[in-house]
Amino acid sequence: MGLIGYGTAGSFFHAPLIAATADLALDTVVTANPDRQHQVRAEHPGARTAATADELFARADAGELDLVVVASPNRTHVPLARRALESGLPVVVDKPLAATAAEAEELAALADERGLLLSPFQNRRWDGDFRTVRKLAEDGTLGRVLRFESRFERWRPHLKGGWRESGDPAEVGGILYDLGSHLVDQALTLFGPAETVYAETDARRPGAEADDDTFIALRHTNGVRSHLWMSAVTSQLGPRFRVLGSDAGYVKYGLDPQEAALREGLRPGEGPWGTEPQPAWGRLGAGESPLTGGGEPVPTLPGDYPAYYAAIARALRDGGQPPVTAAEAAATLRVLEAAKRSAAEGRTIVL
């Protein structure tokens, strides 16, 4: 495996998860930053470093690599993924795969033409709370799901700087494409295609160029309504999930623990992974408030980020479908594009 980028995505997510997968080996990491090169050598002693993507692709041309992971800034996703595919290499691309659905579809067509794997990295499908919601929705516990509420909210009242907060459209920054890529992907995974999209986006913090407070409302073709919040300026955090069905509802507070564990340097396989203590479990009930102890606690299924790369390894070995497809990424991007248009025009967009 070759990994391009060793910032937040590369160092906290991709590299540790690749290293934890028995059938994969982290061979080369691309970063021009000397401190990050030192970090790679300290954290992954068997891995080499390269200062440029050109060096990586030279190794690929020599037959030294089997797959490239693109975890660099969003503006580089499409050109680097295209270069990997044109070099004959399967590729994993951190979300968002592209800025537009059309670009995602072009990459998918190239991958199909070359017979190569192309998979967007959507680790949040393996959050423990999302896995729990999916089980409750699929096994009939909730009855017919009427409304799905999902939030990724943070309290970061001051700008940090960097490309994620840039207003330059080429950077594909802003919270809609950052956290919204996860929220929309999860909603579509649970309830299928959306037929209408309504959104509100704002840049709330002083000096903010890109959206930092966004809401999306979807109506799925099966009748479910999804309400999705993503924000960096939420001074009081709402529930991570609130799912309302015809028979019961499920409410869950708090974030899946895997990201925090990875940031703390913990690694899958070193002990229990992705588990939540009972006080963090969501509650299931009808006509009661979970804030006053109403409903029954539902054990959160363990989070399982390692499952993504284990599935990538199987797909490479056996030739099957990857765990997340480019077509699914394109569907998410169509919703994000419609949300951006809806907010700009102040109206509901029909897909």
Q: Residues 106-112: contacts with CB within 8 Å, 24+ apart? A: 107/78, 107/81, 107/82, 107/326, 108/325, 108/326, 108/327, 108/330, 110/82, 110/85, 110/86, 111/85, 111/326
For residue 251, the model assigns a pLDDT of 97
> Strands across the sheet with 91-94, in order?
48-50, 28-30, 2-4, 68-70, 91-94, 118-121
Instruction: Give the chain's mean pLDDT.
Output: 96
* Residue pLDDT, tens place only, 131-170: 999 999 999 999 999 999 999 999 999 999 998 999 999 9
For residue 138, the model assigns a pLDDT of 97
Phi, psi of 202 (to 5 degrees): -140, 155
* Residue pLDDT, tens place only, 65-107: 999 999 999 999 999 999 999 999 999 999 999 999 999 999 9
- Domains of the chain, CATH where assigned: 2-122+309-320 (3.40.50.720), 124-304+334-345 (3.30.360.10)
**Residue indicated by tokens 């067509």:** 109
What does DSSP assign to residue 68? Answer: E
The CB density around residue 248, as the number of other CB atoms within 10 Å, is 17
Kindly state the helix (H) or strand (E) to which residue 102 belongs, with its residue range. Answer: helix 101-114
Whole-angstrom Cα distance, residue 129 to residue 273? 14
